[in-house]
Amino acid sequence: MFIVHLPDGQTLTETSGITWDKIPDGIDILEIVTFGGETITLPQCESYFFSNEAQSFLPLTDYIPKPNSLITAKIIGGIIGDKALYIRIDTQGHIQIEWKNKKDLPFANFVYKKSCQH
């Protein structure tokens, strides 16, 4: 679950029905709650990104597939210059933190939300 704090004091959370697409630019603080309940606060960045990673299972015997998605991880991070702090948190409790080149991230431009600092 992401928690977004805006400069006006407003807090937006994934559990309140807000999707990342509805998050405005101008993020003051970005946090993520792990599947184990720990809260991680990201450092100040120029912009931020978030995504759920999921698996879909389609039965081979049905003529009309009914896809069911299962979230396997949450991906969150921030952009500083041409680098990205990339955090992947899976359902088993593993947390992977990497520095990546922004150009290597798989996200479209609309996924990035600007910080209130920039």
Q: What is the pLDDT of residues 60-99, one digit of tens each?
A: 666 665 567 789 999 999 999 999 999 999 999 999 999 9
Q: Which of these, 30, 28, 36, 38, lies nearest to 14 by C-alpha position?
A: 30
Read off the pLDDT of residues 43-68 as tens digits, 9 standing for 90 and up. 999 999 999 998 877 666 666 655 67
Q: Which of these, 101, 118, 107, lies nearest to 76 by C-alpha position?
A: 107
Please tell me the predicted confidence (pLDDT) of residue 12. 96
Please tell me the predicted confidence (pLDDT) of residue 63. 61
Please tell me the predicted confidence (pLDDT) of residue 69. 79
The Cα 89–Cα 91 span in angstroms is: 7
Please give the DSSP secondary-structure letter assigned to residue 115: B
**Residue 96: helix, strand or coil by DSSP?**
strand
- pTM of this structure: 0.87
Q: What is the mean pLDDT of the chain?
A: 91
